[in-house]
Chain A
Amino acid sequence: MTAIPHASDLRPGFADPVLSGQAVYRAVLKGMSYPGRLQALPATVDAPPPLSPVAAGVLLALADLDAPVWLDPAGLATDDVAGWLRFHCGCPVVEDRATAAFAVLDATSAADLEGFALGTPEYPERSATLIIQVPRLAEGEGHTLTGPGIKGSTRLRAEGLPEGFWRALADNRLLFPQGLDVILAAPEGLACLPRTTIVSE
């Protein structure tokens, strides 16, 4: 985790950090505002694998020295990824998940959401935002979502997520106003599940 990659091995960040950062933020804002709706990533990112371009774009737009990032030890916490984030975002890459503002997980390890910051009753915003890499997202099928930002109900299929993830998400919902917010990152774009979203079969 501590090795610094050689500069010539370092992949680039956004071509235009200001305008791409704004565009990606707006996609995330729209995603959080309309949970379950797929938002395409309005920028191209040459992310260091196994970090996906969409997850990398979200981090480039939102992570910095005030927003520590935690990387899933099961695959994502490589020197390449950590070095790339440190260089482009200037963010601390932390090993203690409780201190992370953003946590990047692979779908396969998303059943265990214990230990991330949940905020406090007085300051519920001090909670982690999880960026979960999934192989595919599709609207109009899969789980039914209701809650703020959703007119009536909507459906979202997120592939590769274990059953335990959906159970953890239901528990997370009960903690409101505390709780985790989730950004699902797939090759086709991102979709969000803020803590207010109610997921049913």
Chain B
Amino acid sequence: MQPNDATQAQDTLDGYNFAYLDEQTKRMIRRATLKAVAIPGYQVPFAGREMPLPYGWGTGGIQVTAAVIGPDDTLKVIDQGADDTTNAVSIRRFFARTAGVATTERTTQASLIQTRHRIPEAPLTEDQILVYQVPIPEPLRWMEARESETRKMHALEEYGVMHVKLYEDIAHLGRIATSYDYPVRVNGRYVMAPSPIPKFDNPKMDMMPALQLFGAGREKRIYAVPPYTRVESLDFEDHPFEVQAWDEACALCGATDSYLDEVVIDDAGGRMFVCSDTDHCTQRTASREAAE
């Protein structure tokens, strides 16, 4: 695949509706997304359908993408920042075949980005929509198992238990140890699970120009962060929110400002750190080579 060009789908599947889902299902999801945008951070229940892949592989994100996507869209799908992993490749191919849309690996060329567990390093624009795959949409679930209770807690803005959880980290470990799916407060009201993105990505959600939609297939919830909306990571005055930092730079592109994965490269304990966002790394490498 040419990294610089969006790839137009060659052939679409006969016998399926555009983007796989039937129209009534799409309308149901579309109405849910509109209410989700109107109530930032609130989880809207929806009648999630069975999709042709197992729960945990992005069934929620796929249903949201299927309801949103149009023939003019250019789709990018990432899994942990990478365009070339099984999950990303199969979802991209799914929409190339069922909707005939163009696909790309370039963040800047995509109008619709479905993501599992990362926000791209390149800043997103107003012309883009980010769709997150969410395993557990309820940030309070680990503290309170009952849906009827967590629903009441959200209604009453009763979020003390979340701060207690973060405080227990400090009491046990001296710092907040939550490093992914770090709870945020949206527009000063709802506490929301940002999906298991590293907390490194949390600041990108704040006042992002692009619309952010979240789909949880197993739990059947859709929620949203509208553009230009405050997203604050929960913290304490004496233990302010911090993101991860590395002593190393990316071994491939030399980036010092991106989220790095540690990769074991031999049996002797050798390791290297590389960008988790493959497009970011590729673009940096390409522009460095062009400069040389």
B17 contacts the other chain (CB 8 A): yes
Please, which residues of chain A bring their CB within 8 A of the CB of B45? 123
Assess whether A124 is in contact with B42, with CB atoms less than 8 Å apart. Answer: yes
Binary flags per residue of A97-131, CB closer than 8 Å to B gives 1, else 0: 00001000000000000000000111111010100
Interface size on B, residues (CB 8 A): 43
The answer for the CA separation of A25 and B64 in the assembled complex, in Å, is: 13
Do the beta carbons of A29 and B27 come within 8 Å of each other? no
**Min C-beta distance of B9 to chain A, whole Å:** 16
A136 and B229 CA atoms in complex are apart in Å by 28
A200 CB within 8 Å of chain B: no
Q: How far is the CA of A176 from the CA of B155 in the complex (A)?
A: 10
User: What residues of A have a CB within 8 angstroms of the CB of B26 in the complex?
Assistant: 21-22
Which residues from chain B contact A149 at a C-beta distance below 8 Å? 37, 226-229
* Cross-interface CB contact of A34 among B18, B44, B67, B227, cutoff 8 Å: B227
Closest A residue to B17 by CB, please name it: A18
Q: State A104–B55 Cα separation when bound (angstroms).
A: 39
> Of residues 33 to 54 in B, which have CB atoms within 8 Å of A's CB atoms?
33-40, 42, 44-45
A33–B37 contact, CB under 8 A? yes
Measured between beta carbons, the chain A residues less than 8 angstroms from B28 are: 66
Any B CB within 8 A of the CB of A62: yes
Could you tell me the distance in whole angstroms from the C-beta of B123 to the nearest C-beta in chain A? 14
Is B156 an interface residue when CB atoms closer than 8 A count as contact?
A: yes
| CB pair B226 A33 closer than 8 Å | yes
B228 touches A18 (CB 8 A): no
Q: How far is the CB of B18 from chain A (nearest CB, A)?
A: 5
Residue in A17, A34, A64, A124 whose beta carbon sits within 8 Å of that of B39 in the complex: A124
Could you say which residues of chain B place their CB within 8 Å of the CB of A25? 30, 67-68
Asked whether B227 lies within 8 Å of A32 as measured between CB atoms, the reply is no
Shortest Cβ-Cβ A-B pairs, 4 listed: A121-B155, A194-B38, A125-B35, A148-B229
Interface residues of A (CB under 8 A from B): 17-19, 21-23, 25-26, 28-29, 32-34, 61-67, 101, 120-125, 127, 129, 148-151, 176-177, 181, 194-196
- 9 pairs, CB–CB < 8 Å, chain A vs chain B: A18-B18, A19-B18, A25-B68, A29-B37, A32-B38, A121-B156, A122-B152, A122-B155, A148-B228
